[in-house]
Amino acid sequence: MPPQQRPIKRLLVVNRGEIAIRILQACHELPSPPTTFALYTDVDTTHITLGRPHHAIKVVSPATYTDINSIIKIAIENKIDAVHPGYGFLSESAEFSRRMWEEANVLVVGPGWEVLERTGDKLKAKALAEEGGVPVLKAMRNPSSSVEDVRMFARSIGFPIMVKAVDGGGGRGIRLVENEVSLQNAVERCIGESPSKTVFAEQAAIRGFKHIEVQIIGDGKGGVKHLWERDCSVQRRFQKIVEVAPTPTKDRRTVGKVVESAMSMGNRLKYLGLGTFEYLVNVKSGEFFFLEINPRVQVEHTISETVRGVDLVREQLLIAQGQNALENHRFGDISQARDHPQAYSIQLRLCAEDPNSNFALSIGRVAEVVIPSGNGVRVDSHLSKGGSVGSDFDNMMAKIIVTASTWEQTLAKARRALAETRVSGVKTNLDLLRAIVGDEAFCAGHADTTWLESNMQKLIEQGQKLGSKTESATANLPVFPASSTQSQGLASSNISFRKGDAWTLHLEGGEGLSKEGHHLSLDRIIRNEFPDAIVADISFTAPGQKPLTFKATVASTTTSAGATASTHRRGDCNNKNHVVVPMSGKLIEVLVDEGDEIKENDIIAFVKQMKMELEIRSPRSGIVDWVIELESEEGDDVAEGVLLVELKPEESSKPDIRSKL
């Protein structure tokens, strides 16, 4: 049974970023607002500035967010009576929920530890579905940390299979395995990303299947309502990028059955609070299979809110205090499962990553962000002046949510909102998002779970064209300081730069440098946020050379202090014998030693970004002449371009990096 529901007086938010802000805002709007507390680290503070908790508690490192003992100590010291875990971190931990109640008399907002024990484990959740007659994919009955156990299962049902951490989430700890050659590495990586170090395998259903999830809310006594479904099929490496509510299909018979099955399972669980029941659904064939339950608020809860005009986090907090939120007429009952909710909403995840470099994490300081606004546009974000992107947390910068009464109007609003969005200081997937909402297949509602990755190169190219078109459309407009309502607190510089400003540069100390001055002039100021950022068209003339024209983007950065201060050698991209680290992150494992003979495409190292392990492969065969030495057992923070391996002379090429997600 769940912990006792009771009034909340002092609430601690054990999360950060936009979801911490979202929770704090909901707390401020409650009929009896509690005193709020939030955690922060030295390098991650914007949720404090924007969320405005009553009290901010500094923690020593990001690891505190998942350290149960530390959270218990903080709760006792500050007389906390409730904790909201948000999503990720400890939100699905039955141990956290139980220990907070038993050791600190603190209520963790959620369904309670008994339900978490059944739903946080994917195999136990599948067993629950089977008990109720809900279709599931063939799967291993027991979790394992053995590659051979998974291999035996694969041989019994055939490839392809999915290997999953029993306690994974957010795209982590999951691999599609299409043949036996790649099985061992996939299993080992999933085990490495699983908190319990255990995995299972299941039959893969990929072609023609959409990833559809149902949002339910329960009173803990068997009463369950729904907020229809969300289509989360647009994924890369099993991570959602674009979500839609409801599913853009005219025939709701199959989708209605999925909603009904989720409500039935929620009823049998006597579910309390918010929960998401996930499925693979083939709308054309009528097939559907249960996947898992996420017993918490979801990243994409926003689109369920906007299509029905409710505040799910507020309702979650009210239910935790024993109030009957199910009386809200905007929630649906089982008889409405096949009805349409009369609106559409799209969520677009703006992430700090470089699609042109295999989506490598883009680390740095956010110099400028201009967010869209207007009717039907909502942005949930923790971005503000001085905010930065590092390797410790998720790279999501903002959630852009658009809502309209028809699918066509919603698409038009999404295109307009993305055209108004601008970010400088880090690279983002903005152009890719523009391409997705402009693609014919997506607009027709045909995107399944394989669509994005099958069309990735085409979409990246389309996005680049759309980005250039968007920029050129406003190139002739005069440049003004960004409005405070659009730019997250980023004022223009007090230092004036003008078209025609020019400088003579004298460079000293390098061999072969001319003593004559180099000439630099500004042809056009596009943006002046000095010292955070400058964007300008420039002309540069070296002594005795013709002028060269460039578009210069200069931005300050807060790349990981550990990476910046690293004593590791820098690689030379022009040296074909150098294999460099292709992106910033934590180098956690090097698999080769000096003298080793390696073949082209061999895995030689792993870099960790946001809890995901990414493999680095050798670009060619050769003998290892030198290899980096890790300075810490837990891995070293490294910047892009650090020398990883030096091979004995032989023709080479740029290293290949692939995620095994």
Sheet containing 107-108: order of strands: 55-58, 35-40, 10-13, 82-84, 107-108
Q: In 3D, which of 128, 150, 258, 235 has the Cα closest to residue 198?
A: 150
Q: How far apart are CA 283 and CA 266, in angstroms?
A: 23
**Identity at 330, one-letter amino acid code:** R
Helix ranges restricted to H, 12-135: 17-28, 46-51, 68-77, 94-104, 113-119, 122-131
State both tokens at 577.
Answer: 């014998």
Secondary structure in 3-state letters for 458-519:
HHHHHHHHHHHHHHHHCCCCCCCCCCCCCECCCCCCCCCCCCCCEEEECCCCCCCCCCCCEE
Q: Taking Cα atoms as reference points, which of 560, 41, 447 lies closest to residue 211?
A: 447
The beta strand positions in 144-267, using DSSP E, are 161-169, 172-177, 199-203, 210-219, 224-236, 239-245
Torsion of CA 579, 584, 589, 591, to 10 degrees: -10
- The residue among 531, 520, 507, 653 whose CA lies nearest residue 580 is 653
399 included as an active-site residue: no
The pair phi, psi for residue 44, each rounded to 5°, is -145, 90
Q: Which of 656, 608, 605 is nearest to 627 (CA)?
A: 605
Helix axes 253-269, 122-131, angle to 10 degrees: 100
Bridge pairing between strands 643-647 and 622-627: antiparallel
Q: How far apart are CA 229 and CA 210, in angstroms?
A: 12
Name the residue type at position 48: I
Neighbour count for residue 114 (Cβ, 10 Å): 16
* Catalytic-role residue among 122, 225, 240, 399: 240
Torsion sign, CA atoms 273, 274, 280, 284: positive
Q: CB-based burial of residue 406 (10 Å sphere; 0-12 exposed, 13-18 middle, 19+ buried)?
A: exposed
> What is the amino acid identity at position 612?
M
Distances (CA, A) of 372 to 365, 399, 490, 533: 20, 11, 15, 20
End-to-end, the C-alpha distance of the chain in Å comes to 35
Distances (CA, A) of 590 to 375, 604, 607, 639: 51, 6, 9, 16
DSSP letter at 52 equals -
Output the CA–CA distances (angstroms, integers) from residue 350 to 289, 371, 605, in the order listed: 30, 11, 28
- 239 in Cβ contact with 171 (< 8 Å): yes
Token pair in block for residue 455: 């069309």
Residues taking part in catalysis: 240
